[in-house]
Structure 1
């Protein structure tokens, strides 16, 4: 059986709180060469990768994720939406997928820095995967305010150091990895509400204990003081120098 998280995410466009409007605008603004090589790590159902390939008909793509169930979803969607142009989908840890250094025009990693050791280590890895002058589409969380112990516990025992302390800290760390910000978009309160309440509602439709517990955890955290405004999320378009 698919995990509760995978099943819940069937109800939302992406595995992040970014709106479709913001994501589609970021994709439309990407300046890619005609035969761009696109990579998405921690791709999940590869929705971002598929949208990039749809927007850039000459591009080719590779997606990497550990979860075979969610990759199967990606394969079905790719066969339907990109017949004859489906991306290669690799079920493996990103570090074991034999990805060529500097071999991509665009690298996508949204809500998946854990695929490269988490923040901030992932930034250097992503920069190394893209060619000089190429782009990274990065989606990463940050602390919009100092997290309380209760919020950290409700996030599964998270620690303060797991995320940057504000968007400026995220941007600064990207700069230290040799990446320059081209564009920035943030998820707003309405985006977060639609995302998390959508996940909880979908999970709650499933009767098994795992799904019910997943829905309950989301709702209990959102009810905490700071449960809806402690974490932010940004989608950054970055260029490697």
Structure 2
């Protein structure tokens, strides 16, 4: 199986999201997990975040779930010490209420997208104190029709408008924020998306060239670099 253009391009950046390593590692270090914590990452891709959580919290055990076998192969090659399940989240046999920490960052699609994912992530977390490390995009400004078209026909209702709306959705799903949100800066976004485009342009195939061209075209639009936001939330059930 050939790796997707997105997976290949993401080899050039730390995560499959625009967050800085300092923000991600800071959020992980601040998690208050019990001894022998059970951790699951849904939509884990190459399980980069799961690996960092387990390294920062010795004694924790992990499960990573993703339907992309190529991404999981990268996780295994990187030495991720966790159970890795090639399946959709709903088909992985995950037991509700069984996890001290549920990780889902830039992967709400693994649960049908925002905001429904929040309810499913809450259900996986341990009652009365289980944590959810949730990373999601939001519109930093109202997206223009041209911007949505450049995303391949996205719709404005796919993401919340503003960080406050994202936090309100978490609360509505029964999850309480327990730490200040960590929000990707303009510099974080530039490093992420420019890195993706440059890496994709290294490959001489139509899929990779098209992937890079879409990023460049979106950036050329008015507010092309100022419409997306992304936040990392630590939430508690």
Mapping of residues 85-124 of structure 1, within 5 Å = 86-124=81-119
Matches within 5 A, 1:127-166: 127-132=122-127, 133-166=129-162
Q: CA deviation at 1:78?
A: 2.0
Whole-Å separation in 2 of the counterparts to 1:43 and 1:156: 23
**1:41 correspondence with 2:42:** yes
Aligned counterparts of 2:27 and 2:177: Cα–Cα separation in 1 = 13
For 2:105 and 2:219, locate their aligned partners in 1 and report how far apart those are by CA, in whole Å.
Answer: 22
TM-score by length of 2: 0.98
Report the number of matched residues.
234
Q: Secondary structure at the match of 2:110?
A: helix
Aligned counterparts of 2:110 and 2:201: Cα–Cα separation in 1? 28
1:233 to 227, 230, 234: 230
**Hey, what does 1:64 align to over in structure 2?**
65
1:131 counterpart SS class: coil
**How far off its partner does 1:164 sit?**
0.6
In the alignment, is residue 223 of structure 1 matched against residue 220 of structure 2?
yes
Separation (CA, whole Å) in 2 of partners of 1:68 and 1:222:
31
Q: Runs (4+) of structure 1 moved beyond 3 Å?
A: none
**Cα distance in 2 between the residues matched to 1:20 and 1:188:** 12
**1:82 — aligned with what?**
none
Aligned to 1:203: 200
- 1:226 to partner: Cα distance: 1.4
What runs of 5+ residues in structure 2 fail to find an aligned partner? none
More strand by share: 1
Listed one character per residue, the Cα deviations across residues 19-45 of structure 1 (whole Å, up to 9, x for unaligned) are 000000000000001100000000011
- The 5-angstrom pairing of residues 175-190 of structure 1 reads 175-183=171-179, 184-190=181-187
For residues 228 and 11 of structure 2, the distance between their equivalents in structure 1, rounded to whole angstroms, comes to: 22
**Shift of residue 179, structure 1, vs aligned partner:** 0.4
SS state of the match for residue 78, structure 1? coil
In structure 1, distance between residues paired with 2:110 and 2:224: 26
Kindly indicate whether residue 19 of structure 2 is the aligned counterpart of residue 23 of structure 1. no
TM-score under structure 1 normalisation? 0.96
Deviations 1:10-69 (A, max 9, x none): 010000000000000000000001100000000011100000000111000000001000
Query: Cα RMSD (Å) of the superposition?
Result: 0.7
